[in-house]
Chains A and B, each alone.
Chain A
Amino acid sequence: MAQSAVAATTSAARGTPIPRSSRDRSERVVKSVLLSFSLLSIVTTFSIVAVLGIEAWGFFTGFPDKPGIGLVPFLTGTEWSPLLGGEQKFGVLPLVCGTLLVTVIAGAFALPIGLVTAIFLSEYAPSRLRVVLKSALEVLAGVPTVVYGFFALAVITPALQRFSDAFGTYNALSAGLAVGIMILPIVCSLSEDALRAVPQSLRDGSSALGGTKFDTSVKVVLPAALSGIMASFLLALTRAIGETMIVALAAGGLAQMTMNPSSQVQTMTGFIVAIFTGDAQANSVEYASSYAVAATLFLMTLALTLAGTAILKRFREEYE
């Protein structure tokens, strides 16, 4: 009697038995499908490297019907005039210079303000205020970059022009500030995550030794979270370098070697936009040059991303 009850429950629990071999086969199929999905990301990287590499290589060494520009003149040239009717010059430095100018302005605006706001949110703000401010930052983070470009043209540039006549319709400062506003939420929320990850016991220890809130936040919590904060800075700068729509709208279209924030500059991304919205022929030298510029841009952002990962790994302070 008891035995049959046990038999009944086990057979009910087992349900329809699935033969082990077919179960294993479907397991293998699923696993290989999922593996192929994850390999797609590697395929993507290889296509980026291959496409940019091959096209840039052609641009440097020359195609069958036209001479190449050469890697060294490209990397060291200080004149960039690919579209003018006269002599075409392909020295990438003015574009790099424009990109750096915009990035430096954006960083000078967003990194300090973002970090201080992050300290305020994590160490000072009462939890109610924190929730409100965090959601405001989330809104800022979701705004499409083309909106910041519009903001730069419609609000920042006219405001700058009120201060000084030196600012034209297009200038690096306006674009840089808009890029700064764009990366502010990234700096802020990632730095805040890093600060909050510091264990409470460190703060308690500092307070117990008579440290003020300022001493605790800046001399104890901040150094402990430094690797995460550095990583957030690098990520934000990577985004600033690759930002396209803001500079395409507000920075102008003249590639020049300048560090003057009131002059118009062309960034690497700005040039790529100019090529793909203009009427360059698909087999022309200037068209090929956009691939070389894109390859330069890719290598710069790759270096920053790798540096960020390395900093996080090497300098992480482990507590508890």
Chain B
Amino acid sequence: MTDVPHVPVARRLLANRLFLATCVVCTGLAVCVLAVLIVSIMIDGVHRLSPDFIANFASRKPDQAGIRAPLVGSIWVCTICALTALPVGVGTAIYLEEFAKRGRLTEFIRINISNLSGVPSIVYGIIGLTAFSRFFGWRAGAEPIELGSPDSLLYLRLPFGSSVLAGGLTLALVVLPIVIVASQEAIRAVPNSLRQGALALGSTRWQMVSRLTLPASLPMVMTGAILAMSRAIGEAAPILVLGAPLMVLETPANLMSEFTVLPMQIFNWAGRAKASFQEIAAAAIIVQLAVLMSFNALAILVRQRLQTPLQ
């Protein structure tokens, strides 16, 4: 036996009580911070909320300014992001969990994804700017190539410039690692006995995935997807690098329209010295938080509704 210093019981009990007190103080502090955050934003912004605030475009006059363009812009960007990041992310997760053999390539992809999730979002913004907005400098200085007519939704201009499509694709890069990791966990949670059953009955891997593993893991996959989208809708840094204009006075008409998003508008207003701009920034934050709350509620609902016990 090594010598353990003898500590009187009374002192150990005191340490125990002191530590519990520290715990309660720290936890209380964390909760207080959340409370102060929400209350201060409410006090600043709630009197600015009105139907006009939602319906109006941005303005130099804070009393007439609204969040119509950023709100609609956020919806556009988020939709494009979901349509690209979700199939690619879930597909990658399926490949890694169900198809990939253990080997160098698979291991490399895994490490790579964990590193990608640590890359700051502003770096993704720079990559999005270079890759999607400028096509790596292809036709720099020349007129962009136009495909289709500006009246149609799918009108394209190459390179994409600071368009809503470039914004959505850039955000897709940001959330892709999140979608992949969440989907991997969801697929891993499906019991192996189900897979073995399917394979024993002679189904191919893809039949097994499409009819068994994917449906079984769908609630968790969707929960992860919704949380990834709530991350995307709160990102401002990559959009800022892409060069969203300070004042957008129309909602996007097609994929090539210029746009702004709600967090960018908040950033704009919050950075101004005038108190009335601070107030409308707070009001926009309330709208943003309301959107996020509904995303979270949706995630919980999906989890509870679709979750069926396996095994």
Q: Which A residues are closer than 8 A to B by beta carbons?
A: 23-24, 26-27, 30-31, 33-35, 37-42, 44-45, 47-48, 51-52, 112-114, 116-117, 119-121, 124-125, 133, 136-140, 142-147, 149-151, 153-155, 181, 184, 188, 212-215, 217-218, 235, 238, 241-245, 248-249, 269, 272-273, 276-277, 290-291, 294, 297-298, 301-302, 304-306, 308-309
Cβ-based interface call for B219 (8 A): no
Given A34-B92, A41-B176, verify A144-B123 contact (CB < 8 Å): no
Residues of A within 8 A of B159 (CB): none
Told that A26-B206, A44-B116 touch, could you supply 5 new A-B pairs with CB distance under 8 A? A33-B91, A37-B95, A214-B20, A291-B126, A297-B122
Chain B residue nearest in CB terms to A147:
B285
A219 → B minimal CB distance (Å): 11
Decide: A245 and B263 in contact? CB cutoff 8 A: yes
Whether A184 pairs with B30 at a CB distance below 8 angstroms is yes
Q: Which B residues are CB-close (under 8 A) to A34?
A: 91-92, 94-95, 99
Is residue B79 contacting chain A, with contact meaning CB distance below 8 A?
no
CA distance A138 to B22 in the complex (A): 22
> Could you tell me if B16 and A213 are in contact, using CB atoms closer than 8 angstroms?
yes
What are 27 A-B pairs with beta-carbon distances under 8 A?
A34-B94, A37-B91, A44-B127, A113-B30, A116-B27, A117-B23, A120-B27, A139-B296, A143-B234, A144-B292, A146-B234, A147-B41, A149-B270, A150-B281, A212-B15, A214-B15, A214-B16, A249-B267, A272-B122, A273-B241, A276-B240, A277-B240, A294-B126, A301-B118, A301-B119, A302-B118, A305-B114
Given contact pairs A45-B116, A48-B123, A113-B30, A154 touches B92 in the complex (Cβ within 8 A): no
Contacts of B292 in A (CB 8 A): 142-144
**Contact in complex: B112, A45 (CB < 8 Å):** yes
- Residue of A138, A150, A272 near B126 (CB, 8 A) is A272
CB <8 Å contact, B108 and A42: yes
Does A298 lie within 8 Å of B92, measured CB to CB?
A: no
- Do the beta carbons of A38 and B109 come within 8 Å of each other? yes
A149 CA to B288 CA in the complex, in Å?
14
Q: For A276, give the chain B residue with the smallest CB separation.
A: B241
B12 CB-CB contact with A under 8 Å: yes
B266 touches A147 (CB 8 A): yes
B197 in the interface, Cβ–Cβ < 8 Å?
A: no
Q: Are B123 and A147 in contact (CB under 8 A)?
A: no
Output the nearest chain A residue to B24 by Cβ-Cβ distance. A120
Say yes or no: A113 contacts B26, CB within 8 Å: yes
A244 near B118 (CB under 8 angstroms)? no
Residue contact B22 to A116, C-beta cutoff 8 Å: yes
Q: Interface-forming stretch among B31-39, B50-58, B248-256?
A: B31-39
Partner of B109, one of A41, A235, A241: A41
Check if A42 sits within 8 Å of B112, measured CB to CB: yes
Chain A residue, CB-CB nearest to B13: A212
Q: Are B119 and A150 in contact (CB under 8 A)?
A: no
Report yes or no: A113 in contact with B270, Cβ–Cβ below 8 A.
no
Question: Which residue of chain A lies nearest to B242 when distances are taken between CB atoms in the complex?
Answer: A276
Task: Give the residue of B176, B230, B237 whose beta carbon is less than 8 angstroms from that of A245.
Answer: B237
- On whether the beta carbons of A154 and B278 are closer than 8 Å, the reply is yes
Shortest beta-carbon contacts, A-B, top 4: A242-B120, A144-B234, A305-B118, A120-B23
From A35, A244, A290, contact of B237 by CB (8 A): A244
Q: How far is the CA of A242 from the CA of B131 in the complex (A)?
A: 21
Given the complex, which residues of A lie within 8 Å of B139, measured CB to CB? Answer: none
CB contacts (< 8 Å) of A269 on chain B: these are 120, 122, 237
Asked if residues B120 and A241 are in contact (CB atoms below 8 Å), the reply is yes
In the assembled complex, which residues on chain B have CB atoms less than 8 Å from the CB atom of A181? 33, 37
User: Are B122 and A273 in contact, CB atoms less than 8 angstroms apart?
Assistant: yes
- For the complex formed, measure the closest distance between the CB of B299 and the CB atoms of chain A, giving whole angstroms: 10
- A146 and B27 form a contact (CB under 8 A): no
Given the complex, which residues of B lie within 8 Å of A40, measured CB to CB?
Answer: 88, 92, 176
Do A146 and B270 have beta carbons less than 8 Å apart? yes
- Which residues of B sit under 8 angstroms from A114, Cβ to Cβ? 30
Whether, in the assembled complex, B243 has its beta carbon less than 8 Å from a beta carbon of chain A, the answer is: yes
Q: Contacts of B311 on A, CB cut-off 8 Å?
A: none
- A309–B89 CA distance with the chains assembled, in angstroms: 21
Known contacts: A136-B31, A143-B37. The answer to whether A116 contacts B120 by CB under 8 A is no
A113 to B32, CA, bound (A): 13
Q: B176-194: contact bitstring with A at CB < 8 Å (1 yes, 0 no)?
A: 1100100000000000000
Docked-complex contact B123 and A294, CB < 8 angstroms? yes
CB-CB under 8 A from A142, the residues of chain B are 227, 230-231, 234, 292, 295-296
Chain B residue numbers with a CB within 8 Å of A248 are 267, 271
